Amino acid sequence: MKPRLIVSRQIPPEVAARVRADFDCPWPDGRDMTADEAVAALAETNADALLLTSHLKFGADMIARLPASVKIAATCSVGFEHIDVAAARARGLPVTNTPDVLTDCTADMTLLLILAACRRAHEYEAIMRAGWRQGFGLGEMLGLKVSGKRLGILGLGRIGQAVAQRARGFGMRVLYHNPRRLPPEQEQGAEYFPTFAAMLPHCDVLSLHARSGPDTAGIMNADRFALLPKGAVFVNAARGNLVDEDALLAALTSGHLFAAGLDVFHNEPAFDLRFAALKNVFLVPHMGSATVETRTAMGMRALDNIAAVLSGRPPIDPLWR
Amino acid sequence: MPTRPVLLVTRRLPPAIEARAARDYQARLNAEDTPRTGADVLRLAQGADAILCSPGERLDAATIGALPASIKVLGTFSVGYDHIDIAAARMRALPVVNTPDVLSVATAEIAMLLILAASRRAGEGERLLRAGKWTGWTPTQLIGTGVGGKRLGIFGMGRIGRELARMAGAFGMQVHYHNRTRLPPDQEGGVIWHDSEDSFLQVSEVLSLNAPGGDGTRRWLNADRIARLPPGAVVVNAARGTLVDDAALIAALKSGHVAFAGLDVYDGEPRLNPEYLTLENVVLLPHLGSATRQTRDAMGNLALDGIDAVLAGREPANLVR
ipTM greater than 0.90, yes or no? Answer: yes
Q: Are A7 and A23 in contact (CB under 8 A)?
A: no
Domains and CATH numbers, chain A: 5-101+292-310 (3.40.50.720), 103-283 (3.40.50.720)
- The pLDDT tens digits for A192-233 are 999 999 999 999 999 999 988 899 999 999 999 999 999 999
Instruction: From the candidates B36, B121, B178, B287, give the one annotated as an active-site residue.
Output: B287
- Kindly state whether A133 is in contact with chain B, defined as any CB-CB distance less than 8 angstroms: yes
Rounded mean pLDDT, A47-69: 95
Neighbours of B181 (CB within 10 A): 8
Of A119, A138, A140, the CB nearest to B77: A138
Rounded mean pLDDT, B38-43: 96
Q: How far apart are CA A142 and CA A134, in angstroms?
A: 16
- Kindly state whether B301 is in contact with chain A, defined as any CB-CB distance less than 8 angstroms: no
What distance in Å separates residue B100's CA from the closest CA in chain A? 16
Is the pLDDT confidence value at B140 over 80? Answer: no
> How many residues does the structure list for chain B?
321
- Kindly state whether B66 is in contact with chain A, defined as any CB-CB distance less than 8 angstroms: no
Q: Are A191 and A197 in contact (CB under 8 A)?
A: no
Q: How far apart are CA A150 and CA A164, in angstroms?
A: 11
- Kindly state whether A288 is in contact with chain B, defined as any CB-CB distance less than 8 angstroms: no
3-class secondary-structure state, position A133: coil
Neighbours of B22 (CB within 10 A): 14
The percent of residues above 90 in pLDDT, for chain B, comes to 91
Residue whose C-alpha is closest to residue B52's, from B237, B262, B302, B248: B302
pTM, entire model: 0.92
CB within 8 Å: B14 and A134: no
Q: Hey, which residues of A are catalytic here?
A: 239, 268, 286
Of B54, B125, B272, the CB nearest to A287: B125
Residues 169-208 of A with CB under 8 A from B: 169-171
Q: Are B263 and B242 in contact (CB under 8 A)?
A: no
Confidence of residue A310 (pLDDT cuts 50, 70, 90): very high
Rounded mean pLDDT, A289-308: 96
What distance in Å separates residue A296's CA from the closest CA in chain B? 10
Of A131, A139, A145, the CB nearest to B12: A139
Q: Which residues of B132-166 are buried (b: 16+ CB within 10 A; e: fewer)?
A: eebeebebebbbbbbbbebbbbbbbbbbbbbbbbb
Give the per-residue pLDDT at B189. 83
Q: How far apart are CA A38 and CA A50, in angstroms?
A: 8
Q: How far apart are CA A303 and CA A295, in angstroms?
A: 12
Chain B residues close to A162, C-beta within 8 Å:
none
Q: Where are the extended beta strands (E) located within chain B?
A: 6-9, 26-28, 50-53, 73-76, 96-97, 151-155, 174-178, 192-193, 206-209, 233-237, 258-263, 282-284
A146 by Cβ neighbours in 10 Å (0-12 / 13-18 / 19+) ranks as buried
Domains and CATH numbers, chain B: 6-102+293-311 (3.40.50.720), 104-284 (3.40.50.720)
Give the per-residue pLDDT at A211. 87
- Kindly state whether A225 is in contact with chain B, defined as any CB-CB distance less than 8 angstroms: no
Mutation target vs A (from B167, B173, B275; most A CBs, 10 A cutoff) = B167
Calculate the average pLDDT of chain B: 95
Q: How far apart are CA B9 and CA B18, in angstroms?
A: 9
| Alpha-carbon distance values, A195 to A155, A181, A206, B231 (Å) | 12, 11, 14, 49
Is the pLDDT confidence value at B185 over 90? Answer: no
Give the per-residue pLDDT at B180. 86
Rounded mean pLDDT, B47-73: 96
Instruction: From the candidates B58, B240, B296, B321, give the one annotated as an active-site residue.
Output: B240
Residue whose C-alpha is closest to residue A188's, from A200, A176, A203, A202: A176
3-class secondary-structure state, position B134: coil
Q: Which residue has the higher pLDDT, A12 or B246?
A: B246
The percent of residues above 90 in pLDDT, for chain A, comes to 93
What distance in Å separates residue B90's CA from the closest CA in chain A? 27
CB within 8 Å: B286 and A290: no
Residues 51-80 of A with CB under 8 A from B: 53-55, 76
3-class secondary-structure state, position B314: coil
- The pLDDT tens digits for A137-159 are 888 899 999 999 999 999 999 99
CB within 8 Å: A122 and B126: yes
CB within 8 Å: A168 and B269: no
CB within 8 Å: A124 and B288: yes
Neighbours of B26 (CB within 10 A): 15
CB within 8 Å: A292 and B56: no
Confidence of residue B159 (pLDDT cuts 50, 70, 90): very high
What distance in Å separates residue A124's CA from the closest CA in chain B? 5
Give the per-residue pLDDT at B171. 98
Calculate the average pLDDT of chain A: 96
DSSP 8-state symbol, B264: S
- Kindly state whether B132 is in contact with chain A, defined as any CB-CB distance less than 8 angstroms: yes
Give the per-residue pLDDT at A137. 81
What letter represents residue A139's amino acid? Answer: G
Q: Where are the extended beta strands (E) located within chain A?
A: 5-7, 49-52, 72-75, 95-96, 150-154, 173-177, 191-192, 205-208, 232-236, 257-262, 281-283
**Cα–Cα–Cα angle for A111, B162, B167, rounded to 5 degrees:** 15
- The pLDDT tens digits for A226-273 are 999 999 999 999 999 999 999 999 999 999 999 999 999 999 999 999
CB within 8 Å: B141 and A292: no
Confidence of residue B1 (pLDDT cuts 50, 70, 90): low
- The pLDDT tens digits for B9-19 are 999 999 999 99
Neighbours of B248 (CB within 10 A): 18
Check if B240 is active-site: yes
What distance in Å separates residue A27's CA from the closest CA in chain B? 16
Q: Are B252 and B258 in contact (CB under 8 A)?
A: yes
Give the β-pairing of A95-96 and B73-76: unpaired
Q: Which helix (H) or strand (E) holds B163?
A: helix B159-170
Residues 15-34 of A with CB under 8 A from B: 30, 32
Kindly identify which residue of chain B lies nearest to residue A275, measuring between CA atoms: B130
Chain B residues close to A133, C-beta within 8 Å:
270-271
> How many residues does the structure list for chain A?
321
Residue whose C-alpha is closest to residue A294's, from A98, A95, A157, A51: A98
In this structure, of A108-122, A135-149, B240-254, the range with the lowest mean pLDDT score is: A135-149
Kindly identify which residue of chain B lies nearest to residue A110, measuring between CA atoms: B116
Of A9, A125, A135, the CB nearest to B139: A9
DSSP 8-state symbol, B241: G
Q: How far apart are CA B281 and CA B262, in angstroms?
A: 9
Chain A residues close to B293, C-beta within 8 Å:
142, 144
3-class secondary-structure state, position B214: coil
CB within 8 Å: B56 and A135: yes
- Kindly state whether B120 is in contact with chain A, defined as any CB-CB distance less than 8 angstroms: yes
